[in-house]
Structure 1
Amino acid sequence: MAGHSQFKNIMHRKGAQDAKRAKVFSKHSREITVAAKAGGPDPASNARLRLAIQNARAENMPKDNIERAIKKAAGGDADTYEEIRYEGYGPGGVAVIVETLTDNRNRTASNVRATFSKFGGNLGETGSVSFMFDRVGQIVYKPEIGDADAVLEAAIDAGAEDVQSDADGHVITCAFAELSEVAAALQDTLGEAESVRPFWRPQNGTPVDEERAQSMLKLVSSLEDDDDVQNVYSNFEVEDDVMAKLTAA
């Protein structure tokens, strides 16, 4: 019986992983379709589509899925999605920005509002927290791409503004308007990045205790689990040992 139980547990974990993988692919597919519909199906002349494809590949999204999303937009039979940004506060006054792509704004607004309320937050008006963030470009490389000095030199030459390197990898920041150009220059010197995307960078952090940090993690996880939500940003800060404890639970 123990072996049977273990097999069931393994299958359950695999099923959960497959479901998560499918959800990630769905979000990438939606972004690719929207980008292709807005700027055309050729990534060479469509910077947004080029970045969307690159990020999808970084998540090991199959080539067929990528091509299908582009053809869907080019064929004119793609759903019409709106880009809507929601802003609000999580527990402890933490600022939260939620970016969505939706074909039903009423459904999305209701779901986002309900999620904020469930975890001790509240949805605000557009602009209520975004002034506390800077819109920048973020390019992430895995640690094995090179040492910190080599990545820093490449980033400076590419026109980036900042580089943070640690055991988890290299995070390169640049002006939002120059994201595509900086990413292309870095690809020539460092190769393909793990991710390239616009990013809402908090100007200052909001410290929270363990209880509020746990609620914030649940809030962010629940928002990210929504099919209409593409990205979630927040400015909460928590001690490293507390975060390690919460993420290991």
Structure 2
Amino acid sequence: MAGHSHAKNVMFKKTKANAVRSKLFSKLAREITVASKMGMPDPDHNPRLRAAIIAAREQSMPKDNIERAIKKGQGNDAENYDEIRYEGYGPGGVALIVECLTDNRTRTAADVRAAFSKFGGALGETGSVGFMFDRLGVITYPLSKGSADEMLEIALEAGADEVDTDENEHEFTCSPDVFAQVREALEAKLGVAASSGMFFRPQNTNLVPDNVGETLMKLIDVLEDNDDVQRVTGNYELSDALMAKLGE
């Protein structure tokens, strides 16, 4: 399993039933609130909000929760969240990027640093591992939208850098500076995307030994369990055997 966070290659998460679902909804709601506060409450005129709502719907977040988060962002009592990125090395020298939305930078920094230290990692300065990743705009559509050849033609017309079709979906990627334009061009041709957003992608991934992989996943579990952490991305791969073991 590759260590980046987009749909078909999400990093492994153990099923924790309702507790995990509740925490996921909380993080999705936070992103919706921030997006709503930064722009208009109408997703048709607020691309970031539209992407946040799509992500929430993908996880079956109730409509009422989504609407509450939007209204909260438009209210005067909405918390001020800062977007912060932490970079460091996990077990085995795995490069990790931790993206956060927080209303308390001091608390979040302490929590993230403590997690890295507990599992043999080390938090670094901004840019310490970022050079190993690319920041990409990613827009996905279901296979029912057309063939791979048709998607390639549409990608060229929309200005996307690449489209990858697999057994699950069509995935369009582009540079951050044209993300909004490419998404709009794709939506004009294909309708509303199944998902869209800005993601870090490792330029290369490395297969880690199973013992290292187990410790690494414990670190990632702790980080993702933190309410302030929105996403963890790494340049690792896990063996099929370890994936099977962790899934038991």
Normalized against structure 1, the TM-score is what?
Answer: 0.84
Q: Which moved more, 1:207-216 or 1:76-85?
A: 207-216
Where do 5+ consecutive residues of structure 2 fail to align? 1-14
C-alpha separation in 2, matches of 1:69 and 1:210: 40
Q: Which moved more, 1:67-76 or 1:146-155?
A: 146-155
Name the structure 1 match of 2:170: 170
Q: Give the share of equivalent positions with the same residue, in percent.
A: 55
Name the structure 2 match of 1:248: 247
Where do 5+ consecutive residues of structure 1 fail to align? 1-14
RCO higher in structure (CA 8 A, sep ≥6): 2
Normalized against structure 2, the TM-score is what?
Answer: 0.85
**Aligned-residue offset at 1:81:** 0.9
Q: Name the aligned partner's letter for residue 105 of structure 1.
A: R
C-alpha separation in 2, matches of 1:109 and 1:81: 14
Name the structure 1 match of 2:132: 132
C-alpha separation in 1, matches of 2:159 and 2:245: 37
Q: Name the aligned partner's letter for residue 189 of structure 1.
A: K
Name the structure 1 match of 2:19: 19
Name the structure 1 match of 2:9: none
**Aligned-residue offset at 1:213:** 1.9
C-alpha separation in 2, matches of 1:147 and 1:218: 40
1:71 aligns with 2:53: no
C-alpha separation in 2, matches of 1:60 and 1:35: 19
**What is the CA deviation profile of residues 90-116 of structure 1, one whole-angstrom value per residue up to 9, with x for unaligned ones?**
111111000101111122112111211
Q: Describe the SS at the equivalent of 1:179.
A: helix
Name the structure 2 match of 1:187: 187
Q: Which moved more, 1:160-169 or 1:84-93?
A: 160-169
Name the structure 2 match of 1:9: none
Name the structure 1 match of 2:11: none
Q: How does 1:202-241 map to 2 (within 5 A)?
A: 202-239=202-239, 241=240
Name the structure 2 match of 1:48: 48
**Aligned-residue offset at 1:88:** 0.4
CA contact under 8 A between 1:154 and 1:190: conserved in structure 2? no
**Aligned-residue offset at 1:16:** 4.3
Q: Name the aligned partner's letter for residue 162 of structure 2.
A: D
Name the structure 1 match of 2:82: 82
Q: Which moved more, 1:136-145 or 1:105-114?
A: 136-145
Structure showing greater Rg: 1
Name the structure 2 match of 1:5: none
**Aligned-residue offset at 1:34:** 0.9
C-alpha separation in 2, matches of 1:38 and 1:117: 34
Would the alpha carbon gap of residues 242 and 176 (structure 1) be closer, same or farther in structure 2, given more than 3 Å must change? farther
Q: Name the aligned partner's letter for residue 35 of structure 1.
A: A
More helix by share: 1
